[in-house]
Structure 1
Amino acid sequence: MLHRVEGIVLRSMDYGEGNAIITLCTENAGKIGVLVRGAKKAKSRHSALIQPFTLGQYVFFRGNSGLGTLNAGEIIVSHHGLREDLTKAAYASYACELLDRVLHEEESGPFWFRQLSACLTALDEDKEPDIILNVYEMKILQAAGYGPELENCVLCGAQEKDEDVRISAGLGGMLCRRCRHNDPAAPAVSPKALKLLRLFAKLDLTRLGSVDVKKETRDELKAIMRSFMDVQLGLKLKSRNFLDQLDKYGV
């Protein structure tokens, strides 16, 4: 059966001599694998279609299961700038690898497709990458069923003054003063960071504008979101390790 889909290349791997297999996040067909014959050969008309982060229209033949085989394709947005910049490429790779690991094969994903597309576009437009990823991670957590409770105490439901709040990744959200003993290691969170976390929880990434956040607050948000991602999803990602190396050396 012939299929026509819009998709974003999550990853590409060599297959045989001159061929490639790409994994696409599509708007209406979930996550799928497509074999692109001859894509790695010189002067291949399909070589640009297999590049990471590329948004394109892909026409492929596929039976009832297994890989599809590309018949034709057309680039919609190449995101060439993301691949040419080391830092942008690192952030974009993390976004793609994270979605690749969370999204199951053929899981229907209009929401995932829109969020990833918005994430890559925002990175391409030079918006603050750490904030982009924080919002993206929040959407991933929510869609996977692990969105943190940020309005009331996650254990007793009580409201608490922002300056008295603790954030527990293990328990899944805010702790009030009476419940913080359930996770003594839960860190405090500044009112500014808490306000932004609440905004991230409500904001669709497709509507993200320019956000100016001080480095101190960005670092706090990064630490909080990292703890939620590590505890709730527990994924070991190569791209995350590379981002950590960039941070370590101040790139």
Structure 2
Amino acid sequence: MAGELKEVQGIIFKRQKYKEADLLAKIMTKEDGIITLVVRGALRPKSKLGAAAMNFSYGTYVIYTSGHGLSNLRTYKEVKQFDSLYNDLTKNAYASFILDLIDHAFIEYQPLGKYYDLALFALNKINQGVDSEVITQIVQMQMLAAFGVEPNLRSCVLCGKTQGIFDYSIKLGGIVCSDHFRVVNSRLHLTPKAVAVLRTIGLIPLNRLGKIKLDPALKKETRQAIDRIYRETLDLNLKTKKFLDELKFFK
């Protein structure tokens, strides 16, 4: 398949040295998926391409691609940066983890659709100073579907009830109402508030998301539940997640 020049809109999120003065940079795009770009001369001091391919840069890039393998960054039109993600270690760690998570859910050149919107939403919010951990939990819950393990958050997995007090069962793949608490051994024994948060952040469309404020104890409970869901359903072991956990430990 012959290559073509193509304009893509995307977010740069991973870089590594490639040959003497070149870089490999990963870009996340909505329609063309995740693409690895060769950025020639990017490591030279005055390289404009290098500046446009910094992590957390986003905008319109002109690439030469054949739709598989490595593509080449030729030029760019309008590129901005999420400055506070670049300059703040904690925000940087959350944003890196979010993009890493999306990167692992898709193969190269597989369209991202709504998950690109999710990435952009998350980076914008974290960059603006919204609670990074809450935003990350929203992404984690909504990404379960992309990994093929979407939980049933709408109704009890056993009887279909939608109102009442619920708990969560990883084994059963969703929420369980209080009618079945005595017979479900696999439930997580979460507080009703924590289950309500998991349901809300897992189901709500992004454009309807107002301000979600969680007190520290509730946020910790939902974080531990989400971590356990990921641990027991997906084999990921992401370095970005490990770094984030270490960062929390030292705070």
TM-score (normalizing by structure 2): 0.90
Q: Which residue matches 1:42?
A: 45
Are the aligned partners of 2:142 and 2:203 in contact in 1 as well (CA < 8 Å)?
A: no
Change (3 A) 1:207 1:73: farther
Stretch moving more, 211-220 or 136-145? 136-145
Structure 2 alignment gaps of length 5 or more? none
Are the aligned partners of 1:49 and 1:74 in contact in 2 as well (CA < 8 Å)?
A: no
Q: Deviations over 1:7-35 (max 9, x none)?
A: 11121111001101111110211111111
Q: Is 1:72 matched up with 2:78? A: no
Q: Which residue identity does 1:191 align to in structure 2?
A: P
Please state how far the C-alpha of 1:157 moved relative to its aligned partner. Answer: 3.4
Q: Give the whole-Å Cα distance in 1 for the aligned partners of 2:66 and 2:150.
A: 37
User: Could you say what the CA RMSD is over the residues aligned between the two structures, in angstroms?
Assistant: 2.0
Q: Give the whole-Å Cα distance in 1 for the aligned partners of 2:161 and 2:209.
A: 30
Q: Deviations over 1:111-130 (max 9, x none)?
A: 12111011000000111111
Q: Give the whole-Å Cα distance in 1 for the aligned partners of 2:120 and 2:186.
A: 36
Q: Which residue matches 1:212?
A: 213
Structure 1 alignment gaps of length 5 or more? none
Please state how far the C-alpha of 1:72 moved relative to its aligned partner. Answer: 0.3
Q: Which residue identity does 2:54 align to in structure 1?
A: Q
Please state how far the C-alpha of 1:160 moved relative to its aligned partner. Answer: 6.9
Q: Deviations over 1:143-199 (max 9, x none)?
A: 33322222333244356731xx33122321123456556752532222222222221
1:187-206 correspondence runs (5 A): 187-206=188-207
Q: Give the whole-Å Cα distance in 2 for the aligned partners of 1:118 and 1:206.
A: 9
How many pairs align? 248
Q: Which residue matches 1:123?
A: 126
Q: Is 1:225 matched up with 2:229? A: no
What is the aligned-residue identity percentage? 29
Q: Give the whole-Å Cα distance in 2 for the aligned partners of 1:105 and 1:182.
A: 44
The SS at the match of 2:210 is coil
TM-score (normalizing by structure 1): 0.90
1:25-40 correspondence runs (5 A): 25-40=28-43
Please state how far the C-alpha of 1:77 moved relative to its aligned partner. Answer: 2.9
